[in-house]
């Protein structure tokens, strides 16, 4: 059991009517990070990680890091999209290279091979 869970359990033992909102403040106030806090609160209150993330994200106790979190999410989304674009460009380059190699050969007119290449692009895009 990690320290955030142990401390939250201790708090709830001393104060059994602790609400989720009060619990959200406790790990942050005692120096635990956001991830440990989310795990501890979800564990102790029977919430899903997603439910707990939303509550912690909207909590005034964690407002100080909201802007940095949003920048992180924006950067991750941008990077994931760039990886997707890079993957598509890589596949297109491979198909173009192959097409140049087989140009004028029997494989150049293979409809099954052409359809397979198009299917790969459809699945990626």
Q: Is the pLDDT of residue 31 over 60?
A: yes
Higher pLDDT, 30 or 37: 37
**For the residues 91-111, what does the mean pLDDT come to?**
81
- pTM for the model stands at 0.55
Q: Is the pLDDT of residue 122 over 80?
A: yes
Long-range contacts of 22-27 (CB under 8 A, 24+ apart): 24/55, 24/56, 24/59, 24/61, 24/62, 25/59, 25/61
Q: Is the pLDDT of residue 125 over 70?
A: no
**Region of poorest pLDDT, from 38-52, 75-89, 90-104:** 90-104
**For the residues 1-7, what does the mean pLDDT come to?**
76
3-state SS track over the chain: CCHHHHHHHHHHHHCCCCCHHHHHHHHHHCCCCHHHHHHHHHHHHCCCHHHHHHHHHHCHHHHHHHHHHHHHHHHHHHHHHHHHHHHHHHHHHHHHHHHHHHCCCHHHHCHHHHHHHHHHHHHHC
User: What's the confidence (pLDDT) of residue 117?
Assistant: 77
CA distance 29 to 22: 11
Specify whether the CB–CB gap between 27 and 37 falls below 8 A.
yes
Mind listing the pLDDT tens digit for each residue in 46-65? 999 999 999 888 888 888 88
Counting residues of the chain whose pLDDT is more than 70, the rounded percentage is 94
Structure tokens at 25: 């403040």
Residue ranges per structural domain of the chain? 3-58, 66-124
């Amino acid at each position: 059991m990690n320290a955030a869970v142990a401390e939250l359990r201790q708090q709830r033992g001393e104060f059994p009517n602790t609400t989720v909102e009060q619990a959200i403040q406790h790990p942050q106030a005692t120096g635990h990070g956001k991830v440990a806090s989310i795990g501890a609160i979800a564990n102790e209150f029977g919430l899903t990680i997603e439910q707990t993330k939303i509550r912690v994200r909207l909590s005034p106790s964690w407002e100080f890091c909201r802007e940095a979190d949003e920048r992180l999410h924006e950067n991750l989304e941008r990077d994931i999209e760039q990886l997707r674009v890079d993957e598509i460009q890589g596949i297109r380059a491979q198909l173009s290279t192959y097409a140049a190699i087989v140009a004028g050969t029997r494989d150049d007119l293979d409809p099954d091979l052409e359809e397979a290449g198009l299917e790969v692009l459809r699945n990626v895009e």
